[in-house]
Structure 1
Amino acid sequence: MLRWMLDLKESEVSWIPNKHYSGIYGLMKLTLTKALPADLSKVIVLDTDITFATDIAELWGIFRKFTGEISQVIGLVENQSDWYLGNLWKNHKPWPALGRGFNTGVILLYLERLRRIGWEQMWRLTAERELMSMLSTSLADQDIFNAFIKQNPVLVHQLPCFWNVQLSDHTRSEQCYTEVSDLKVIHWNSPKKLRVKNKHVEFFRNLYLTFLEYDGNLLRRELFGCPSQANPESVRGACKPAQFLLRFI
């Protein structure tokens, strides 16, 4: 059943010529209003090359800042490279975008509102129109999201840049933070991944490797004994490290 549903969603975007290394799977972000349950009103969409350095609950809280009954439907961080400015090399012609455009490695989708405005039809019409001249996407779903936002700027809620610090070769991500402690989400959006060039890459790499080494089996047993008969203060003190670990992971 799951394979059948996946094939069905692939068929909805397989007609889009795409040069991005993610292939068809990046484009499938466009189908989430139909792929996810109709009673699901909001979703956070993350690329697989994302490292969180904070509690994701903070990101969920941003949905409360979406203005209007229906106006803002998509939350995104501005693109941190010059890609959509079209000045990276001679004759570089990117898809249309609002200013520097937006990066779709981290997306807040207000599904309920998107369904209400007819998102499925809107993104299809956008893709069909732009493909007449662009012929294919270079950055998969990101090109289509940006072309859509260029025509409908009031529908986007711009997130602070530390929610998607982009580490591709052409980004200026250092402008996004003054201290590495300010970071919320690190995005390895380069084919080079951990080998990308960035002056803070060693810090980012160590952070990623730290998360990678966490062993979920630690949570299958008591790390610290919590006495069943004790005063409340001693119980809180004995259990505090385990509670911290659960929240951090």
Structure 2
Amino acid sequence: MFRKCATELIFLPLILPDVDKILYLDTDVVFLRPPEDLFDLFPSFDDKQMISMTVVGWRYPTKGIPIFKGGLNSGVVLMDLEKIRKPEIDWMNRTLSIVDEFQTKLELGDQDILNVYLNRHPEQIYQMPCSWNFRFGHCTMGGKGRFQCPPARTDGISLIHGNTGTFHLDTFMKFKTVYDTFINFNLTTQQPSELVQILDINLQWVDSDSSLKSPCSAFEDFNDMMMWWPKKVLLP
């Protein structure tokens, strides 16, 4: 199994019996847009849809398991716990049976379990826009000059996900710069509008130094995608 507690998400309907809906996040994410906007996707679910995740968009790493389409990423998950707890869904029995069936192949814990489950119950997923779970692969996995998250070009990047340690790698400086900018910003002494200016300057700094590596720099409008929501939300 991927990590200790990597299957915690599966047990949330039981752990939180009085909660109807939840947003589950990996710890390596940075919101560029208000989180409540993501929660507002729930009304878009139809009667059967109860989970929302983004499609990976490139080759899924775990082999030997059935997956939903090209695979789903569990770094950002909306769950309608009220629907999941319905007796006819039989959530715990069905998910735990997947663990029993594929236990030697579930390299990514809850993500693999959810992929197998939603492969078998595709009517239960509402596909989350990739802009709400933007990963380095959106810049690198499409081949040269091919951007993997078109919605981000029209609506901006809402959340950046530093999976596989991307926030701490000098080979992905745009991601690292966003993380460092947020982690070093002091809300007790600085105004929110200052964050926009600092982030903009820092992203331009990456572009100005050819020694700094960032695959996302290949896309001229990438900074605009990153700055879209901070400017819209934080500037007067």
Settle same-fold status: TM greater than 0.5.
yes
Structure 1 residues 102, 137: closer, same or farther in 2, change over 3 A?
A: same
Contact 2:99 2:106 in 1 (8 A): no
Q: Hey, what does 1:64 align to over in structure 2?
A: 43
Q: Hey, what does 1:96 align to over in structure 2?
A: 66
CA distance in 1, matches of 2:22, 2:185: 26
Q: What SS does the corresponding residue of 1:75 show, helix, strand or coil?
A: strand
Q: In percent, how many aligned pairs have the same letter?
A: 25
CA distance in 2, matches of 1:181, 1:194: 26
Aligned AA for 1:25?
C
Q: Hey, what does 2:14 align to over in structure 1?
A: 34
Q: Hey, what does 1:241 align to over in structure 2?
A: none
CA distance in 1, matches of 2:76, 2:166: 19
Matched, 1:194 2:171: no
1:181, distance to aligned residue in structure 2 (A):
7.1
Query: Of the candidates 137, 142, 167, which is equivalent to residue 136 of structure 2?
Result: 167
Query: Of the candidates 78, 81, 88, which is equivalent to residue 108 of structure 1?
Result: 78
Structure 1 residues 104, 33: closer, same or farther in 2, change over 3 A?
A: same
TM-score under structure 2 length normalisation: 0.70
Structure 1 residues 118, 216: closer, same or farther in 2, change over 3 A?
A: farther
Q: Hey, what does 2:108 align to over in structure 1?
A: 139
1:112, distance to aligned residue in structure 2 (A):
0.5
Matched, 1:206 2:149: no
Q: What SS does the corresponding residue of 2:36 show, helix, strand or coil?
A: helix
Aligned AA for 1:82?
R
CA distance in 1, matches of 2:131, 2:168: 19
Contact 1:73 1:110 in 2 (8 A): yes
Q: What SS does the corresponding residue of 1:129 show, helix, strand or coil?
A: helix
Q: Hey, what does 1:225 align to over in structure 2?
A: none
CA distance in 2, matches of 1:141, 1:175: 24
Unaligned runs of 5+ in 1: 1-17, 87-92, 220-243
Q: What SS does the corresponding residue of 1:98 show, helix, strand or coil?
A: coil
Matched, 1:155 2:148: no
**CA-to-partner distance for each residue in 1:2-49, whole Å, 9 max, x for gaps?**
xxxxxxxxxxxxxxxx1x2xx12221111111112x221000000011
CA distance in 2, matches of 1:211, 1:141: 28
Q: What SS does the corresponding residue of 2:6 show, helix, strand or coil?
A: helix
Structure 1 residues 94, 53: closer, same or farther in 2, change over 3 A?
A: farther
1:167, distance to aligned residue in structure 2 (A):
2.1
Query: Of the candidates 72, 83, 100, which is equivalent to residue 128 of structure 1?
Result: 100
Q: Hey, what does 1:25 align to over in structure 2?
A: 5
Structure number with bigger Rg: 1
Aligned AA for 1:96?
P
CA distance in 2, matches of 1:52, 1:75: 17
CA RMSD of aligned residues (A): 2.7
Structure 1 residues 58, 192: closer, same or farther in 2, change over 3 A?
A: closer
Structure 1 residues 46, 125: closer, same or farther in 2, change over 3 A?
A: same
Contact 1:82 1:170 in 2 (8 A): no
**CA-to-partner distance for each residue in 1:126-158, whole Å, 9 max, x for gaps?**
221233xxx241111111000000110000000
